[in-house]
């Protein structure tokens, strides 16, 4: 990511943020291309003698929401930081096709005194009542047009599915091939002979009694990959054996409104129709697999209610994936049944030993290590004292190099300011033209922004090193209170307490630990040193007081 530019403090220059967007379906339309929009808006800025601060481009992205448009979010952040005075777009619907988002954007513009202009819809100002009404009317029209397009597209795709046609996407066993038709091109499924054999193997393995993870593990060991060229998991195997595509059916609209409802938007009556493509497996094999899957899907009632206190706090020493909860049931020689708890690599659990090893850690052992290590640090003052002293020593050691760097950057920034003033004097004397001035100002601005960003980072590091040493007494008080609460809290509260203060537990192979990384900030400090918290309720463990606390810091114990 390029360095973030700083606020414009020069009243002689109007910095303009150009925003351009094109969705996938608009890529081929005349006048909608990104380059066409940018070229038009650049020319307008030059004609008006304004400086293009930055071009914000969302290519191939729908105007439905703000959340999935990184360039627009960056534009809004720069508006908040006062870096631009004007936003220019080729057409209003480029900024958004959703009325609520348009109103939010307009509110942000007015709040920070930023002017909005559209090259196509001219002569309206968002800081007047009439301008706001015009802005909103255009927004309503744009949203109506988008919704109409979406409805027409959905209707067309549903009809294609009813006719047995493929609506796109990659699927193991088939290749998507484009063929010429009367009105252009169409996509059809052709059997991929090699992948089809793999699909038949998966169905046969499941029909023979193999489990989802067992199948995934064997396929990964044999070097097979999914269609996107990734290792198999139990989820990908389940998706394959439940897809009627392989018996020649087209299934469509299984989930509705995915962007809003995600997996909860299940359609009870999806479209299932005879497809135009060739089936890969027989109806007999399909029926056998579905019957077996239905039986296995009926799970036994859960008899184990144990809690895993360290969920999400440990990572696999080999692949870096999170260690997740795992348990086994054993029967002793005397007939007693016991449950053993473990943490295992999530990649191993989902995809098998081809992807990673289990790197099993006994849950009781890990949880005992964490609680005993914290207790040791609390009960042996010298241990904690040495840890904090070492951290503070390293912080102070970095002060001199940072001070020299900040001083050097400051001198360079003054040089850039002098150069900018020289270019303005040349412009006022008609020695250089406007285009030359803009080019040189942009070059200086880029250098200035990069230097200023590094200067800010160095100053923050410097302030952290010299003004806020890790407070030994405060750390000791927090950990003492933490240990006291941990010993008396119910099991669920223990888990929340650990998640509050433990950032990560560093695990090595062979069930060994390198240390526990603890994170301290104002929330943690208030939790344990603020109003007297109760360990009987999770909410009570997060009481805040009005006391001010130091900045965030971490310790590895």
Q: pLDDT tens across 425-449, in order?
A: 777 777 777 777 777 887 888 888 8
pLDDT score of 411: 87
Alpha-helical segments (H) within 175-262: 193-207, 212-221, 234-241, 258-261
pLDDT surpasses 90 at 336 = no
For residue range 158-212, what is the model confidence (pLDDT) as tens digits? 777 788 788 878 899 999 888 887 777 888 899 999 999 999 999 988 888 788 8
Sorted by sequence, the CB contacts under 8 Å of residue 227 that are 6+ apart come out as 170, 171, 172, 195
Report the candidate in 204, 195, 252, 273 with the shortest Cα–Cα distance to residue 229: 195
What is the 8-class DSSP label of residue 266?
Answer: B
Looking at per-residue pLDDT, the higher value among 400 and 421 belongs to 421
* Cα–Cα dist 470/476, whole Å: 11
> Higher confidence at residue 533 or residue 462?
462
CA-CA distance, 252 to 160, in Å (whole number)? 10
Indicate the Cα dihedral angle 129, 134, 138, 139, nearest 10°. Answer: 0
Which of 256-270, 334-348, 484-498 has the largest mean confidence?
334-348
Q: How far apart are CA 252 and CA 262, in angstroms?
A: 16
Q: Which one, of 191, 187, 185, lies nearest residue 177 by Cα?
A: 187
So what's the pLDDT on residue 431?
74
Strand residues in 462-527 grouped as ranges (E) = 502-508, 512-520
CA 75 to chain centroid, in Å, comes to 19
Q: Centre a 10 Å sphere on the Cβ of residue 38 and count the other Cβ atoms it contains.
A: 17
d(CA 93, CA 524) in angstroms, rounded, equals 45
Catalytic residue among 23, 96, 233, 465: 23
CA distance 351 to 15: 52
The yes-or-no answer on residue 346 being catalytic is: no
pLDDT mean over 221-243: 91
Model pLDDT for residues 252-273, shown as the tens digit of each residue: 877 665 455 445 556 667 788 8
More confident residue, 147 or 78: 78
CA distances from residue 293 to 204, 236, 350 in whole angstroms, order as listed: 13, 15, 18
pLDDT at 216 over 70: yes
Q: Could you give the C-alpha distances from 540 to 54, 103, 476, 482, 533, in angstroms and in order?
A: 48, 39, 21, 13, 5
Considering all CA atoms of the chain, what is the largest pairwise distance in Å, rounded to the nearest integer? 101
Half-sphere exposure of 127 (CA within 13 A, CB side): 10
Residues 7-45 pLDDT 10s: 555 555 788 999 988 765 444 344 457 888 888 888 888
Residue 316 has pLDDT above 50, yes or no: yes
Q: State CA 109 to chain mean position distance.
A: 27
The mean-pLDDT minimum among 98-102, 149-153, 199-203, 391-395 falls in: 149-153
Please give the structure tokens belonging to residue 265.
């938007």
């Amino acid at each position: 990511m390029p360095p973030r530019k700083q606020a414009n403090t020069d009243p002689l220059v109007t910095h303009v943020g150009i925003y351009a967007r094109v969705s996938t379906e608009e890529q081929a339309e005349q006048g909608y291309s990104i380059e066409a929009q940018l070229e038009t808006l650049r020319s307008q800025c030059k004609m008006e003698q304004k400086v293009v601060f930055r071009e914000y481009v969302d290519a191939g992205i729908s105007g439905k929401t703000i959340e999935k448009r990184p360039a627009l979010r960056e534009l809004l952040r720069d508006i908040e930081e006062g870096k631009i005075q004007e936003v220019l777009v080729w057409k209003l619907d480029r900024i958004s096709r959703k009325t609520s988002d348009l109103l939010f954007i307009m509110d942000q513009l007015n709040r920070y005194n930023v002017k909005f202009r559209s090259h196509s819809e001219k002569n309206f100002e968002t800081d007047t009542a009439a301008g706001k009404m015009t802005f909103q009317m255009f927004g309503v029209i744009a949203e109506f047009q988008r919704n109409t397009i979406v409805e027409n597209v959905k209707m067309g795709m549903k009809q294609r599915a009813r006719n047995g046609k493929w609506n796109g996407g990659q699927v193991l066993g088939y290749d998507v091939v484009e063929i010429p038709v009367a009105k252009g091109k169409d996509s059809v499924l052709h059997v991929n002979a090699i992948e089809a054999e793999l699909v038949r193997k998966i169905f046969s393995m499941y029909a023979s009694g193999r489990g989802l993870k067992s199948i995934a593990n064997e396929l990964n060991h044999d070097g097979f990959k999914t269609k996107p060229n990734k290792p198999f998991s139990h989820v990908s195997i389940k998706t394959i054996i439940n897809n009627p595509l392989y018996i020649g059916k087209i299934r469509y609209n299984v989930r509705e409104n995915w962007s809003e409802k995600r997996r909860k938007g299940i359609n009870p009556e999806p479209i299932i129709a005879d497809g135009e493509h060739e089936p890969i497996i027989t109806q007999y094999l399909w029926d056998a697999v579905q019957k077996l899957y239905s039986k296995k899907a009926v799970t036994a009632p859960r008899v184990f209610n144990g809690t895993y206190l360290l969920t999400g706090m440990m990572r696999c020493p080999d692949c870096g994936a999170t260690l997740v909860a795992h348990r086994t049931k054993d029967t002793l020689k005397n007939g007693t049944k016991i449950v053993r708890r473990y943490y295992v690599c999530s990649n191993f659990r989902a995809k098998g030993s081809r992807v990673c090893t289990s790197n099993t850690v006994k849950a009781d052992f890990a949880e005992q290590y964490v609680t005993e290590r914290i207790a040791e640090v609390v009960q042996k003052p010298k241990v904690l004292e040495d840890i904090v002293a070492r951290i503070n020593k390293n912080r102070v050691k970095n002060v001199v190099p940072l001070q020299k760097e900040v001083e050097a950057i400051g001198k360079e920034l003054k040089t850039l300011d002098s150069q900018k003033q020289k270019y303005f004097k040349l412009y006022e004397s008609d020695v250089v033209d406007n285009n030359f001035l803009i080019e040189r100002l942009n070059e200086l601005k880029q250098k200035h922004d990069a230097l200023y960003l590094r200067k800010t980072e160095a100053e923050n590091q410097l302030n952290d090193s010299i003004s806020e040493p890790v407070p030994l007494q405060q750390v000791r008080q927090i950990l003492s209170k933490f240990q006291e609460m941990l010993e008396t809290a119910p099991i669920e509260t223990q888990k929340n307490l650990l998640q509050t203060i433990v950032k990560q537990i560093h695990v090595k192979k062979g069930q060994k630990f390198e240390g526990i990384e603890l994170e301290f900030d104002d929330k943690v400090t208030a939790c344990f040193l603020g109003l007297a918290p109760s360990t009987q309720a999770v909410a009570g463990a997060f009481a805040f007081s009005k006391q001010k606390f130091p900045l965030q810091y971490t310790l590895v114990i």
